[in-house]
């Protein structure tokens, strides 16, 4: 039995407050207060929480963009903020890829799709140390996300939101990662596109054996996609659900509140009927 592919232990992050009470004050706002989580090979872990609970900050920590004040993040046992030789470094960058919420700023407006994906391919070339047939690989990943290869010549503003988000997923896939971090990757799309993208993600996971870290504030997509869920509130994980089918059994008041307010999934029968029907409809379309 292999250990988890990604582990985070006791991550703490704080930012300096902008409005200090005293001149030269050093007050800090604690954003993450000791988060620990583990992601197994091939699973999808959902992280849910309200706005400002520190989800994106956690995402930034996990993909190596923000060094936490305390705690470690390990991918395959390698500390991503530690010192590494060239090969380990390459392996680290190679393992995790990210898709952001705001697709409008996710792609350089001056790059064609070909170059957007080409950047990932360039990194991959450096890692494997040999030239790739970029044209073919680009067409391949575009096909994987369900886009025709003729899109390679387009600019981001010539694509719709859903198409651009697919390009972002293609770009994330192009470095052949083991884990993809999706930070609200589908939240800014409309309902039917959301389902399409989620189906795509499920499909890719099956065919490529990917693991997902799925950050969202939307429970519908979590229940659709994830195996396990962690509820975040105020920088802490307040509740974990290890089997998505038992999501109705959670106890923590905050998580329950979230569950009831956002979803109203049959927590109490009778009152939840209506909402459940809605949810089913949303999931089906």
Q: Please tell me whether residue 196 binds Mg ion under the rule CB under 5 A.
A: no
Over the window 85 to 114, marking each residue x when it contacts another protein by CB under 8 A and - when it does not, the resulting string is: ----xx-xxx-xxx-x-x--xxxxxxx---
Task: Output the CA torsion sign for 231, 236, 238, 241.
Answer: positive
The answer to whether residue 188 forms part of the interface with Mg ion (CB under 5 A) is no
Beta bridge partners of 74: 7, 79
Q: Is residue 56 a contact point for Mg ion (CB under 5 A)?
A: yes
Return the one option of another protein, Mg ion, ligand ATP, none that residue 217 interacts with (CB less than 5 to 8 A, by type). Answer: ligand ATP
- Taking CB within 5 to 8 Å according to partner kind, which of ligand ATP, Mg ion, another protein, none is near residue 157? another protein
Please identify, using beta-carbon distances, which residue of 104 and 150 lies nearer to Mg ion. 104
- Distance from C-alpha of 81 to C-alpha of 92, rounded to nearest angstrom: 10
* Cα torsion through 111, 112, 115, 117, rounded to 10: 110
Comparing C-alpha atoms, which of 84, 65, 59, 83 is closest to residue 8?
Answer: 59
Where on the chain is the footprint of ligand ATP (CB under 6 A)?
Answer: 15, 31, 49, 51-57, 217
Least Å from the CB of residue 108 to ligand ATP: 22
Q: Are 234 and 278 in contact (CB under 8 A)?
A: no
- Are 152 and 138 in contact by the 8 Å Cβ rule? The answer is yes
Residues that bind another protein (CB under 8 A): 60, 63-65, 89-90, 92-94, 96-98, 100, 102, 105-111, 116, 119-120, 122-123, 155, 157, 171-172, 175
């Amino acid at each position: 039995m292999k250990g988890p592919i990604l582990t985070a232990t006791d991550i703490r992050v704080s930012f300096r407050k902008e409005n200090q009470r005293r001149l030269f004050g050093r007050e800090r706002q604690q954003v993450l207060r000791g988060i620990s989580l583990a992601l197994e090979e091939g699973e999808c872990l959902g992280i849910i929480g309200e706005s400002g609970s520190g989800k994106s900050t956690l995402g930034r920590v996990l993909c190596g963009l923000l060094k936490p004040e305390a705690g470690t993040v390990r991918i395959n046992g390698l500390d991503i903020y530690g010192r590494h030789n060239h090969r380990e470094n390459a392996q680290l960058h190679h393992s995790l890829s990210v898709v952001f919420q705001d697709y409008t700023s996710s792609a350089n407006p001056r790059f064609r799709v070909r170059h957007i994906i080409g950047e990932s391919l360039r990194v991959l070339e450096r890692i494997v140390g040999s030239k790739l047939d970029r044209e073919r690989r680009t067409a391949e990943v575009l096909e994987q996300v369900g886009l025709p290869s003729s899109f390679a010549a387009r600019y981001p503003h010539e694509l719709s939101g859903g198409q651009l988000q697919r390009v972002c997923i293609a770009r994330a896939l192009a470095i052949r990662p083991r884990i993809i971090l999706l930070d609200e990757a589908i939240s800014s799309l409309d309902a039917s596109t959301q389902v399409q993208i989620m189906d795509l993600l499920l499909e890719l996971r099956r065919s490529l054996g990917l693991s997902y870290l799925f950050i969202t504030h939307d429970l519908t997509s979590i229940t659709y996609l994830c195996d396990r869920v962690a509820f975040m509130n105020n920088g802490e994980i307040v509740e974990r659900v290890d089997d998505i089918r038992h999501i109705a059994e959670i106890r923590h008041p905050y998580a329950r509140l979230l569950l009831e307010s956002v979803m109203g999934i049959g927590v109490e029968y009778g009152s939840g009927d209506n909402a459940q029907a809605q949810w089913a409809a949303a999931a089906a379309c």
